[in-house]
Chains A and B, each alone.
Chain A
Amino acid sequence: MIPNKVCIKPSKYVNISYFLEAWQSRRLLLSFIERDLRVRYKQTLMGIIWAVLPPFLSMFVFTLIVNMLGYAEKFGQNQEVPYSLFAFTSLLLWQFFANSISNCTSSLVSQRSLLTRIFFPRVLLPLAAVGTSLVDYIIGFLLLIGLSLWHTLNGGWSWNVTSLPVGIIATVYAVLVAIAMGLWVAALNARYRDVQYIVPFALQMMIFLSPVLYPLSLAREFISPRFLFVYELNPFVGALECFRWAWLGVGEFPRDALISSVIVTVLLMLSGVYYFRVSERVMVDVI
């Protein structure tokens, strides 16, 4: 038996061996994530606190603004949920999306010297970008549990511990959404650097075009049914709404939004893997 037989040929199509190879290098994925985290917190004063600081501070800012505008009750679903908790739940997931996607955008381009010098399954780079953001998210998730307990102890809203597994399932779904979008932006940016300018702007707009600061029910009131489906095509909508429904225990189960969100995610994922694979072939020569 001869180990590690490898066949190199021009292959346009995604085949089993491609996935097999990516799966076999999962330990390398962890090395990538570990390196990214180490690099990120080198020479920082607050270190790992940076993982939770942005959503935590944004929570205060958004709570302040929404209170100033007098929408806190409405957004917080008639005081069933304290708005600050509503905001933190959404912002935590939003930060995960936003970080994943902006990390993915630069994941290939910033590793140019690695890509042009050594072989490894290229898909590990965007996956590691999502993985790094996921570590931040998990730390933030612990803070979310802490905040939920704090609110429960102070009365007004009580946390249902059974929401934990559903929250985790929603998180897994969010990871898939992030990977699907991440593959696209990573491969596109390797070819067309326009993407690195589009993405930050798009993310800035998407925070308002997704139900981050307000519940989906509010969007449904204001957007005419003809255009509502366009709004709900955004895969973040289903993921965010589903996560909040699970965690905060308010509102209805967002069935329609989730269905369109899942369909879009599946399409994005399939096309993303295909596009990534196709551009992977010439990536080193054009990057």
Chain B
Amino acid sequence: MSSSVAIAVAGLSKRYAFGRKPTTLREAIAYRFQRRQYVETFLALKDVSFNVVQGERVGILGRNGAGKSTLLKILSRITEPTAGTVELRGRVGSLLEVGAGFHSELTGYENVFFNGAVLGMSKSEIRRKLDSIVSFAEIGEFLHTAVKHYSSGMYTRLAFSVAAHLDSEILLIDEALSVGDTAFQSKCLNAMQDLTKTGRTVVFVSHDLAAMSKLCERIIWLHKGEVQADGPVSDVINGYLASGSTVAGTACWRMTKELTFPCKQHPIAITGVDFTDGNGKPLGDFRTGDSLNIRIEYKAVRELKRTNFSVQLRTRLGVEVFRLNTTPISGYTATEPGLSGTLDLHLPSVPLTAGTYVFDLGIGFEQTEWLDYQPGIVELDIAENDVYGSGMALDNSRGILVLPHAWKLVKKT
């Protein structure tokens, strides 16, 4: 390992087990004596190798489930690899999920000191940076108030601020980190950009290709746990975009993450999702006003009662457009779903203007508890359509909703 290498990753693999894992002593003991082993495993990372030179800024690119966050978790030492090695030279700071260890009963001041200590700062270091941390977080006179009385914005601002003030030679950033309101988000992005310009080694994970090409010199593209490409920004991004059009095809909807399996904690799970048009044909493109059929496949570990299926649609900015569930909103009885099955939700017309919309699917126990909840699991692109027959295609710059309507001039002088 040459002295200028800050991160050396060699043959890194990480295997996860899912499915029926024994979680109680009784199950663990029974499991030892079972002939058939139900645990399935999958490799989140397969033999990943790369080196990062000191001061280099590297972006990690890939779809959801490609292994980006697993890689960051290993680099930040949160979880151990199954095989392979990583050598890190220098203090590692991470902006992955902020606010680790914040305790709601403690004041902002106390939390800054504890959180700072967990991140690896000494007390004198925190004391020195306290003013800067507090002013960046904009919490002002609330510093000595218990954080349970904070608004969620104040909470995340303070948490981000502590993490951003750690001096480290290596910085791991997950840009998906959503912090506070829009104004603070741009402040965070600026702070992240400033942090990356201080000569540190940076590993940056993002979906935002523009941000990535601005911040990074080199990109590693992960695909299904393997390094697909590694090289200069423009080359890799071009390759990534080219592959995206072939993989996604013409489909206008896509799953954004892996589905789960039913297990002890989630006795029922959504195991398949399919979006078709009103006649059950695959969706080629989807336009405003088209009919939509949402098919949910599920499996359960046991017979359940009083279940409740739910479909919610949001805009990308998080505005809830509608939420439908079998009971009580739709008044449809599917409360005893059996051990597995398929459920359709039919929408004769989706009156939404062009744009990308996000679906949350869930199965709950009555109205009280989620048995399986998959926020943002499906994204649907709705294309422009001339719904009003005026010859003008509507995009969402004119609102997200289309309505049957009629104009009538009733008086004219």
Do B89 and A35 have beta carbons less than 8 Å apart?
A: no
- Chain A positions within 8 Å of B88 at CB level: 4-8
The 5 closest A-B pairs by CB, nearest first: A119-B77, A117-B100, A31-B117, A8-B86, A9-B85
Q: If A39-B105, A281-B80 touch, does A118 touch B118 (CB 8 Å cutoff)?
A: yes
- Bound-state CA distance A43–B148 (Å) is 13
A156 at the interface (CB under 8 A from B): no
Q: If A4-B89, A6-B77 touch, does A118 touch B119 (CB 8 Å cutoff)?
A: yes
- Bound-state CA distance A285–B82 (Å) is 12
- Bound-state CA distance A34–B106 (Å) is 11
Interface size on B, residues (CB 8 A): 47
Do B21 and A286 have beta carbons less than 8 Å apart?
A: yes
Do A5 and B89 have beta carbons less than 8 Å apart?
A: yes
- Chain A positions within 8 Å of B80 at CB level: 8, 10-11, 281-282
Q: If A4-B89, A28-B117, A117-B96 touch, does A39 touch B79 (CB 8 Å cutoff)?
A: no
Do B90 and A4 have beta carbons less than 8 Å apart?
A: yes
Q: If A114-B100, A118-B78, A194-B24 touch, does A285 touch B16 (CB 8 Å cutoff)?
A: yes
Interface size classification for chain A: 35 or more
- Chain A positions within 8 Å of B23 at CB level: 191-193, 286
Most B CB atoms within 10 A — which of A8, A34, A286? A8
B76 at the interface (CB under 8 A from A): yes
A120 at the interface (CB under 8 A from B): yes
- Bound-state CA distance A280–B184 (Å) is 37
Q: Would you list 7 pairs from A and B whose C-beta atoms are within 8 A, ordered by A residue?
A: A8-B88, A10-B82, A35-B103, A113-B100, A117-B97, A118-B118, A194-B25
A35 → chain B, closest Cβ, in Å?
5
- Chain A positions within 8 Å of B103 at CB level: 35, 39
- Chain A positions within 8 Å of B83 at CB level: 10
- Chain B positions within 8 Å of A116 at CB level: 78
Q: If A2-B3, A9-B85 touch, does A194 touch B118 (CB 8 Å cutoff)?
A: no
- Chain B positions within 8 Å of A226 at CB level: none
Do B114 and A194 have beta carbons less than 8 Å apart?
A: no
- Which residues B58-108 have CB closer than 8 A to chain A? 73-92, 94, 96-97, 100-101, 103, 105-106
A1 → chain B, closest Cβ, in Å?
10
Nearest A residue to B123, CB-CB: A27
- Chain A positions within 8 Å of B123 at CB level: 27
Nearest A residue to B98, CB-CB: A117
Q: If A113-B100, A114-B118, A285-B16 touch, does A42 touch B106 (CB 8 Å cutoff)?
A: yes
- Chain B positions within 8 Å of A285 at CB level: 16-17, 79
Most A CB atoms within 10 A — which of B76, B86, B114? B114
Known: A7-B87, A8-B74, A31-B118. 16 other contacts (CB 8 A): A2-B90, A8-B77, A8-B80, A9-B81, A10-B81, A27-B117, A27-B122, A28-B117, A35-B101, A42-B106, A116-B78, A118-B78, A118-B119, A119-B78, A192-B23, A282-B80
B261 at the interface (CB under 8 A from A): no
B35 at the interface (CB under 8 A from A): no
**Chain B proximity mask over A1-32: 1 for CB below 8 Å, otherwise 0:** 01111111111000000000000000110010
B52 → chain A, closest Cβ, in Å?
14
- Bound-state CA distance A115–B77 (Å) is 10
B110 at the interface (CB under 8 A from A): yes
- Chain A positions within 8 Å of B105 at CB level: 38-39, 42-43
- Chain A positions within 8 Å of B286 at CB level: none
Nearest B residue to A2, CB-CB: B89
- Bound-state CA distance A6–B84 (Å) is 14
- Chain B positions within 8 Å of A114 at CB level: 100-101, 118
Do A192 and B25 have beta carbons less than 8 Å apart?
A: yes
Choose from A11, A39, A192 the contact partner of B24 (Cβ within 8 Å). A192
B28 at the interface (CB under 8 A from A): yes
Nearest A residue to B4, CB-CB: A2
Q: If A4-B91, A6-B87 touch, does A31 touch B106 (CB 8 Å cutoff)?
A: no
Do A38 and B110 have beta carbons less than 8 Å apart?
A: yes
- Chain B positions within 8 Å of A85 at CB level: none
